[in-house]
Structure 1
Amino acid sequence: MLPLIVVEELISTFKFWNQGIHDGMLHRSDFYIGLQQFPLAERSQAYSQATLESSKGLKVCITVSKTHYTIWVELRSQLT
């Protein structure tokens, strides 16, 4: 399954506690945890990392802003 790509302005972000404070986001009824962030100049690294996580069977989303890419992994897959 290929990572979903979403414009960052279309998501809702939040902070949550799970043995530390984490970034989370909600998109289309799915909750995600922030995994890694890359500057726009590192686009290929961001997509490579997202594809690697996706190949592990995880549901992955990449958000794109004017300054960076963020890789998100579905929260349920990280907590189980």
Structure 2
Amino acid sequence: MTMANLDQHKTKLPCTDGFDRLRSVGLWTAPTSGRVVLVAPPAETALLTPAQARALSTRLDELATVVEAQHADLVRVSRDRVAQRRSGVA
């Protein structure tokens, strides 16, 4: 995976914190662990409008799909390598 591919999966969605200050929720994929990363604003509180909540939901779903595909590829490559070692193919 190239750096450009990693960057295309990074997202910051606007929200406000408990004091109504503009903040953002960060989202990205962690392909080697098969997870989606969500970073909340300071104080771990994000107040979202209904539209922001929908945008968060949509982006989380998109990233989950990407991570599932990447993780499946990693698992397949790993299994192929193990099979090659067992069969004596370098």
For this structure pair, what is the TM-score category when the shorter chain's length is used for normalisation?
under 0.3
Please report the TM-score for the alignment, with normalisation by the length of structure 2. Answer: 0.24
Give the number of the structure whose alpha-carbon radius of gyration is greater.
2
Between Structure 1 and Structure 2, the one with more strand by share is: 1
- Greater relative contact order structure (CA < 8 Å, 6+ sep): 1
Between Structure 1 and Structure 2, the one with more helix by share is: 2
